[in-house]
Amino acid sequence: MNAKIIFILTPYIHDYIEENLKNIKPSFKWEIIDYINFRHLSEITTNLSKNDFDKLVVSGSAAKSIVEKVNPDLQGDILTLETDLAGIYRLMLQLISENKTLEFNRVGMDFFTLFDEFITCDKLIDININKLLGEKYLPYSYFENKNISELISTEEIIKSKILSLWENGNIDYIICVFSSLMPFLKEKGINSSYGFPSIEHIKGIVEKIEALITVESYEKLNPAAIKISIQGSFSHEELDWQCALLQKHILDYAKNNFFDFVVKAVSYGLEIYTNKSVVSDMTKDYTQCDLSKYLSKVNENQKVSIGYGIGKNLKEARNNAVKASRYGLCNGGNFLINEEGEIKGPLDKDESITYSLEKDEEVSRVAKQTQLSEITIQKIFHIIKEKESYDLYAQDFVDYFGGSIRNANRVFGNLEKAGIATVDFKRSKYNVGRPAKVYHILKNKL
């Protein structure tokens, strides 16, 4: 991966992030640029260009808001590496271990000093923290509506409030999420610790960056998406297990076949983002569903529906994949919708057909008249075209599209009842065995 990522951080966390990045060994190139305070951050990012990097990672929500306001062109390419709750809780456990007498109702957090009602860290122990604190206490909610002057002055406001709380004996300790404040707190002799992002959080950011870059590269190579839906009813725990198992099989499949794609867990299944070339290989030029065969082989008890989508952009590809998946759930089988709006399938049957999703009045009329699905009527048209004959057997339907002879007889029975087909005579298709009905499709009724 030739992508370049720039991390803009304070000197206080520079070494910690650098060490972890070296251990994680991302697939992209990276560089760390230091900023001293928010004013300095605004100065060094004013002239940054999108040509300088692929993604920009800053230290938190406030820093992100500052960069977006001084340089709007960079919006959409900025991620944050702010302290996560896991890092805060680990720090609190460490403080308890080191100081058994420390009372968390006398421990403050720098961010909470920005509000009229100062919240101490004992509130963070409440398991309903999000409900307790509410939306306004989340950093991104607080900073997104501030102007640049207000954002730059944030550090000085926090410093002043913390110093006042400390000098008045209201707090014994401060937990910081703004690393730029740590030199000031140490200088004033205020007991404080910074909540470093957890290693898991840093790994998550790295993985997210790699996924974003990979997905963006697909945009240049005819993007494609695959929607895999797990069929059946499950409890939340069972569904989580089914999804985890499916994801393992998908990643094994990709590894075994050297396919390059990104996997994302969604409700009742997975979504895969890749490109047209990979989908072409997976489906043998849009004629088969090799993935379905593989999944049935490795876990015959898990039933899934697979929809493939190709589009002019990733959004269109994903929408097509979702439509194809729904189409399969309604009609049976796995389908593909391409960038022209054509649907191909069922890919897991011996014979697949291609037709437009645009409304076909002739197909719709016959489907309504025979009480059959439009895809079934399309299949009948396909067999007529392939055989170059309007005389069909029920076995023809099975030979082309699979399924049972009973279902095929039902299809042709509906055609007969609707006056679309007649039974002219009986004979054996292969001149052996019991005579079979020959259905003559009335061309003038189509």
Q: How far apart are CA 260 and CA 251, in angstroms?
A: 10
Choose among 84, 104, 96: nearest CA to 173: 104
Give the model confidence (pLDDT) of 197-255 as tens digits: 888 889 999 999 998 888 887 766 789 999 999 988 888 888 889 999 999 999 999 99
Give the model confidence (pLDDT) of 304-333 as tens digits: 999 999 998 889 999 999 999 988 887 778
Q: Which residues contact 149 (CB under 8 A, 6 or more apart)?
A: none
Partners of 368 in the β-ladder: none
> What is the set of domains in the chain, with CATH numbers?
4-81 (3.40.50.10330), 85-194 (no CATH), 221-356 (3.30.70.270), 361-445 (1.10.10.10)
pLDDT the model gives residue 122 = 80
Give the model confidence (pLDDT) of 128-183 as tens digits: 445 444 444 455 567 878 889 999 999 999 999 999 999 999 999 999 989 999 99
Q: Which residues contact 96 (CB under 8 A, 6 or more apart)?
A: 102
pLDDT over 60 (residue 433): no
Question: Exposed, middle or buried: residue 76 (CB in 10 Å: 0-12, 13-18, 19+)?
Answer: exposed
Give the HSE-up count for residue 149: Cα atoms under 13 Å, Cβ half-sphere.
0
Question: Exposed, middle or buried: residue 435 (CB in 10 Å: 0-12, 13-18, 19+)?
Answer: exposed
Q: Which residues contact 364 (CB under 8 A, 6 or more apart)?
A: 374
Q: How far apart are CA 370 and CA 412, in angstroms?
A: 9
Structure tokens at 327: 């189409």
pLDDT the model gives residue 429 = 55
Could you give the percent of the chain with pLDDT greater than 90? 41
pTM, two decimal places? 0.61
Structure tokens at 365: 């009329």
The secondary structure of 22-62 as a DSSP string is HHH--SSEEEEEE-SSHHHHHHHHTT--GGG-SEEEESSHH
E strand or H helix that includes residue 244:
helix 236-257
pLDDT the model gives residue 136 = 46
Give the model confidence (pLDDT) of 355-365 as tens digits: 766 667 888 88
Could you give the percent of the chain with pLDDT greater than 70? 90
Q: Once rounded to an integer, what is the mean pLDDT over residues 81-100?
A: 83
Q: What is the mean pLDDT of the chain?
A: 86
pLDDT the model gives residue 436 = 74
Q: How far apart are CA 12 and CA 187, in angstroms?
A: 14
Do 265 and 220 touch, CB atoms closer than 8 A?
no
